[in-house]
Amino acid sequence: MKIIGIDSSGLVTSVAIIEDETLVAEYTVEHKKTHSTTLMPMLSEIVKMSETSLQEIDAVAIAAGPGSFTGLRIGSATAKGLAYSLNIPIVPVPTLAALAYNVQFFDGIICPIMDARREQVYNGLYTFINGEFTEIIGQRALAVEELITGLNAEFSGKNIVFLGDGVPVYKHIINEKLETTHFYAPSNISKQRAGSVAVLGKMYYNRNIIETAKDHEPVYLRLSQAERERNEKQLENRE
């Protein structure tokens, strides 16, 4: 089985190809470029370098959200185009689950956080139980303070590892207010990796968690900034 993995949900652009148990290729960039200019050239490059025919691909695994609204739309459009043209399914992989999957077999709580602005983060909580990747709390958007309060209450005495683009933004708050032992993932696994999306995608594919290109839509969890500002203005006008 061959699966293409795509993640453009955050600051990183990442694409990968897996075949059975092998990560055939992965191309990851985080350097002052937009997903619209990097994603397709990167995909073309790994297909070429790995001598992969697109006709061999069985599914497209996409980091389905939450994340950057623009990034999610670009990734979704790319996945839809591939799935349509190749007549293959899309495997929607929760962004935070894929991010957490970077930290293999950590003996504790894996806590990915993505900056959602306004002192909020996108977050989920995960762990490995007897080697099996397990969701403790599903994806959500919440205030950083609320997250820390919950971790102090529910996971006192547990080791917690943080990763994601929310870490450099909120690390000072975590260090100040989190009472339990915590760590930060090293830079090589701290951001999105399409290899993790592809491997989880294979797992979900085998569980028949798939969508058609027509049905696939990104998962935003909350309104965009433009929509929030519009609603705020409408409320102001009513007052």
Which pLDDT does position 223 carry in this prediction?
A: 58
CB atoms within 10 A of CB 137: 14
Q: Which residue shows structure tokens 């994806």?
A: 139
Q: Kindly report which listed range (2-6, 34-38, 68-72, 167-171) carries the lowest average pLDDT score.
A: 34-38
Cα separation, 205 vs 184, whole angstroms: 30
CB atoms within 10 A of CB 69: 18
Q: pLDDT tens for residues 29-45?
A: 998 778 999 999 999 99
Q: pLDDT tens for residues 204-239?
A: 999 999 999 999 999 999 755 544 444 444 445 555
Cα separation, 194 vs 176, whole angstroms: 32
- Element containing residue 140 per DSSP (H, E): strand 132-143
Residues 6+ apart with CB under 8 A from 102: 163, 185, 189, 190, 193, 196
Contact 122, 139 (CB under 8 A): yes
Cα separation, 117 vs 119, whole angstroms: 5
Q: pLDDT tens for residues 41-68?
A: 999 999 999 999 999 999 999 999 999 9
Cα separation, 82 vs 44, whole angstroms: 12
Contact 54, 231 (CB under 8 A): no
The answer to whether the predicted template modeling score (pTM) of the entire model surpasses 0.75 is yes
Which pLDDT does position 26 carry in this prediction?
A: 98
Contact 26, 6 (CB under 8 A): no
